[in-house]
Amino acid sequence: MHTYAAIPEKVTLLPLPKSVAVHSAAQLTYADCDETTGIVHFTAPSTSKRGSLNTVSLDTYTSHIFCDCKGAQCDRLCWHCCYVTAAWQAHPAVAEARTLIGSRLLTYGKKHARLVATYRQRIGRAGDYDAVRLLAARWEYRQRHAIAAMPLAA
């Protein structure tokens, strides 16, 4: 006998911002990352303040998203937040990690972890090339194991 979680009588979804229809993940530009926190940053030109950039950040470990745009400051869901995960998934490092089979993904991740550690030891910071590939490998590994951990339908 199977038991299921109770389904709430009313599901409340956050309304998508109207700007989602006129923007896309391709409009977010990768800026940098920090492999110690797992956070990747993307930017997009601000429409409220000409000449400045909004920065939206994705925590690749927890999937939490942060944005510094005017909408997010007012607790509104912004298009940056709607698209940052898709922008990250379209990043060349994530696309590359996605193509690697299990053992090669582990080797790839360990290689970049080693390079990141070496650079941190020698110059005090990691190169972005290796850091973003390390985060991409970890992201892809977690994605695969989350899928594998799902119970099979009987």
The residues that touch Zn ion, with contacts defined as CB under 5 A, are: 67, 69, 72, 78, 80
**Two tokens, residue 60:** 């690749």
- Residue 80 or 112 having the CB closest to Zn ion: 80
Nearer Cβ to Zn ion, position 69 or 131? Answer: 69
CB of 145 to Zn ion, least distance (A): 30
Q: What's the sign of the alpha-carbon dihedral 123, 67, 45, 17? A: positive
| Cβ closest to Zn ion, residue 73 vs residue 118 | 73
CB of 76 to Zn ion, least distance (A): 9
Q: Give me the least distance between CB of 116 and Zn ion, in Å please.
A: 29
